Amino acid sequence: MVRRALVTGGASGIGLASAHRLNTDGLEVFVADVNEVQLEAVEPTVSGVGILDVSDPGAVNALVAELSPIDVLVNSAGVVGPNLPIWDVPDDGWAHTMAVNLTGTFNTMKAVLPQMRERGWGRIVNIASIAGKEGNPNLSAYSASKAGVIGLTKSVAKEVAQDGVIVNSVAPAVIATPMNEDTAQHVLDYMISKIPMGRVGQPEEVAALVSWLASDECSFSTGQAYDISGGRATY
């Protein structure tokens, strides 16, 4: 039986690298993104593409119903949000960051878990961030949203621990992705200065970890936030 994976935020960066890696692993992969997916970037790797705003629960439920059954979910959709001190963060900037990064993860997990539990097998990998563990200055919305993703992961993992469904998160440091192209240079410099390896990570390095977390080999580890930060993580 060929397993089916849904990768959100799959148009670029970690999501796209994860889609390619999961396809190499033998999965049937569908990617969804709020931005139009460039077919030349994903063909012939993926089996289907779609436009999806993960903050819209109706749209999420409709896509999951269309693609069902989904065996593997990779939640990679995300935004950086405002690069500002908290007193300058606009209310709509805070709300949008939370809606995409945290509520979007909640929406997709809620949609796929019933079918995974019914079949007795599933893997969910949520892309969090080292910012969710340690906090990055001038990225309060992003840091808080990713801390929420880690907490959500831990909670849900315990709820489904006896259902054959494994739920983990990945906490990268700064990765060379298009999402970081709009991040202020001084913020990037700060984040790189905290990495003992002294470099940014590559999407393919994160995808390799996602690959294991989405596999049968990951069988006795759930509810974790896996560090992939070049040594930055302090816990």
Strands 28-33 and 48-51: parallel
Per-residue DSSP letter, 99: I
Q: Which of 75, 72, 71, 145 is nearest to 108 (CA)?
A: 75
Phi, psi of 152 (to 5 degrees): -60, -45
Catalytic annotation on 226?
A: no
Q: Which of 125, 118, 228, 139 is nearest to 190 (CA)?
A: 139
Burial class (CB in 10 A: 0-12, 13-18, 19+), 173: buried
Q: Which of 169, 149, 164 is nearest to 220 (CA)?
A: 164
One of 142, 190, 226, 235 is an active-site residue; which one?
Answer: 142
Active-site annotation, residues: 142
